[in-house]
Amino acid sequence: MSGHSKWSTIKHKKGAADAKRSKIFTKLIKEISVAARIGGADINGNPRLRKAVSEARNANMPGDNIDRAIKKGTGELEGVSFEEIVYEAYGPGGVAVLMELMTDNRNRTVAEIRHLLERYGAKMATSGAVSRLFRKRGVILVDGANASEDRVMEVGLDLGADDVRSAGGGFEVWVDPGHLETVRQGFEKAGLVPQSAEVSTIPETNVHLDGSAAQSMLKLMAALEDHEDVQHVYANFDIDDDVMERFSA
């Protein structure tokens, strides 16, 4: 399993705890507001907003909070304007790290991110230095408890998926980003409701880490994910399963 898949599994395991913290609501509100500002308030006509609202509901965010975030995005209510930025970095062992952020204060955010990177043996990279090592893909997660690999493979290939891979007790279905919604709906019609479906950023190659470098990388990922301005973090590390399991315990 790739480092991306392993880290996704860790996040799902920790999701219940994370949902209890206010930071997850802050991130979701930012995403809802920006999605509404860019694509409008119509959930049916705005896939990004639909996904953000679905994630907010799964995190048990009150409906009033969701409605206010949408209205702030469209300008119906006064709100803070968030800027979307991407930072690139080199992590422990030369791992490529790509961070997608939303902030209302770029200077404050970059200072805080630099501090986190330095704390765990990483450093900022110039724009384009590591992004070339990643590729956008649609990623659909299917719970292995509800379907066999053969069934997921059969449905996925019939729907035009690029690949199906084992991922922490379930399966990752990789699709062209432009076909994500169509394939997601196809899985639902086939009786295989996905755990999640999103456009993700997947590394083309991986860097194997062990020992202290592996521990530092995992701590860095956790710290970045915990930062309220960081929406997504992608990295091309590969760490042995037993190390990942001990970290997630």
Q: What is the pLDDT of residues 69-81, one digit of tens each?
A: 999 988 888 877 8
| 118 in the same domain as 234 | yes
Q: Is the domain of 138 the same as that of 237?
A: no
Of 17-26, 111-120, 145-154, 229-238, the range with the lowest mean pLDDT is 17-26
Residues 127 and 224 in one domain: yes
Q: Are residues 94 and 211 in the same domain?
A: yes
Q: How confident is the model at residue 1 (pLDDT cuts 50, 70, 90)?
A: very low
- Host H or E run for residue 124: strand 123-125
* pTM for the structure as a whole: 0.77
- Check which CATH number belongs to the domain holding 60 and give it: 1.10.10.200
- 160 and 173 co-located in one domain: yes
What is the number of domains present in the chain?
A: 3
Mean pLDDT of the chain: 87
End-of-domain residue from the set 38, 53, 74: 74
Structure tokens given for 64: 């009033």
The per-residue pLDDT for 16 is 46
* Percent of the chain with pLDDT strictly greater than 90: 51
Same domain, yes or no: 150 and 183: yes
Phi then psi for residue 130, to 5 deg, are -120, -15
Whether 146 has a pLDDT exceeding 90, the answer reads no
Q: What is the pLDDT of residue 249?
A: 60
The pLDDT-based confidence of 3 (bands split at 50, 70, 90) is low
Residue 203 CB partners (closer than 8 Å, separation 6+): 2, 3, 4, 96, 133, 134, 135, 234, 235, 236
Q: Phi and psi at residue 188, in whole multiples of 5°?
A: -65, -45
**137 and 196 share one domain:** yes
Average pLDDT for 175-189: 90
Do residues 101 and 140 both lie within one domain?
A: no
Burial class (CB in 10 A: 0-12, 13-18, 19+), 2: middle
Answer yes or no: do 178 and 159 share one domain: yes
Residues 11 and 53 in one domain: yes
pLDDT in tens, 155-177: 999 999 998 988 777 899 999 98
Residue 6 pLDDT more than 50?
A: yes
Take residue 51 and report the two structure tokens written for it: 């996904």
What per-residue confidence (pLDDT) applies to 25?
87
Mean pLDDT on 143-157: 89
Least confident window among 19-28, 153-162, 183-192: 19-28
The domain in which residue 18 lies consists of 3-74
Name which residue leads in pLDDT, 1 or 220: 220
Going from the C-alpha of 97 to that of each of 58, 106, 211, the distances in angstroms are: 27, 19, 19
Kindly state whether residues 174 and 188 are assigned to the same domain: yes
Cβ contact 217:103 at 8 Å? no
Q: Are residues 88 and 47 in the same domain?
A: no
Contacts of 142 (CB under 8 A, 6+ apart): 152, 170, 171, 173, 187, 192, 194, 195
Task: Give me the pLDDT at residue 93, please.
Answer: 94
CATH of the domain at 199: 3.30.70.980
